[in-house]
């Protein structure tokens, strides 16, 4: 998890690109001028040269360009959804079947779609978020405030609610297109 984040950070990529190109340059220069000898002293000198090179590093314009382009690309990629929110983005609560439900939308790069997330049922008596739990006996909902309780026979299935939410959005789109035509 942490490793993935680290690899994805724009700094890692830009600094990584810079270091990689720098090392390639060093190896190329070095092998061109002096064939690498197998003595320990020369290896040590080689490492020392790299350290000196790093300390004397001068920024090359194209490194900056690569870093800049990668940063812009990453920002654009991860900001998907900020500028590009669909019309249904604000549709985040409704009374569906017996209860009030709330949810959020999350963009998934993997599925290339908006997904419903944090779907919560609210107590019909006091509107508090119900605690959902499931066991071998099925799903149940409990209100932590007023002790409202619903089990298998009289509670709603979240996957059914999700399907209704998606269908509501489809219906809205359909109504809009018939209105425009």
- Is 100 among the residues that bind Zn ion (CB under 5 A)? no
In the list 121, 143, 155, 165, the residue contacting Zn ion (rule: CB under 5 A) is 143
Choices 21-29, 62-70, 122-130, 168-176; region in contact with Zn ion by CB under 5 A: 122-130
> Could you tell me the smallest distance in angstroms from the CB atom of residue 154 to Zn ion?
15
Query: Regarding beta strands 93-96 and 113-122, do their DSSP bridges make them parallel or antiparallel, or are they unpaired?
Result: unpaired
Choices 5-13, 38-46, 92-100, 137-145; region in contact with Zn ion by CB under 5 A: 137-145
Using the 8-state DSSP alphabet, how is residue 37 labeled? Answer: P
Interface with Zn ion: number of residues (CB under 5 A)? 8
Residue linked to tokens 């309780």: 149
Do 158 and 119 touch, CB atoms closer than 8 A?
A: yes
- Is 146 among the residues that bind Zn ion (CB under 5 A)? yes
CA distance 1 to 28: 36
In the list 114, 148, 168, 169, the residue contacting Zn ion (rule: CB under 5 A) is 148
- DSSP string spanning 54-74? HHT----HHHHHHHHHHHHHH
> Interface with Zn ion by CB under 5 A: which residues?
123, 125-126, 128, 143, 145-146, 148
């Amino acid at each position: 998890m942490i490793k993935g984040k680290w690899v994805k950070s724009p700094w890692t990529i830009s600094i990584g690109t810079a270091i990689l190109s720098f090392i390639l340059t060093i190896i190329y220069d070095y092998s061109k001028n002096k064939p690498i000898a197998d003595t320990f002293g020369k290896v040590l000198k080689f490492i020392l040269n790299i350290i000196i090179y790093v300390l004397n590093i001068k920024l090359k314009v194209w490194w900056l360009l690569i870093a800049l382009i990668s940063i812009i690309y990453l920002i654009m990629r991860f900001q998907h959804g900020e500028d590009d929110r669909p019309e249904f983005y604000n549709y985040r609560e409704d009374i569906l079947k017996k209860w009030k439900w709330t949810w959020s939308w999350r963009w998934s790069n993997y599925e290339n779609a908006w997904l419903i997330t944090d779907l919560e049922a609210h107590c019909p008596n006091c509107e508090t978020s119900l605690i959902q739990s499931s066991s071998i006996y099925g799903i149940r909902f409990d209100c932590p405030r007023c002790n409202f309780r619903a089990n298998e026979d009289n509670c709603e299935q979240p996957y059914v609610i999700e399907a209704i939410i998606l269908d509501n959005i489809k219906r809205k789109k359909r109504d809009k297109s018939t209105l425009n035509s």
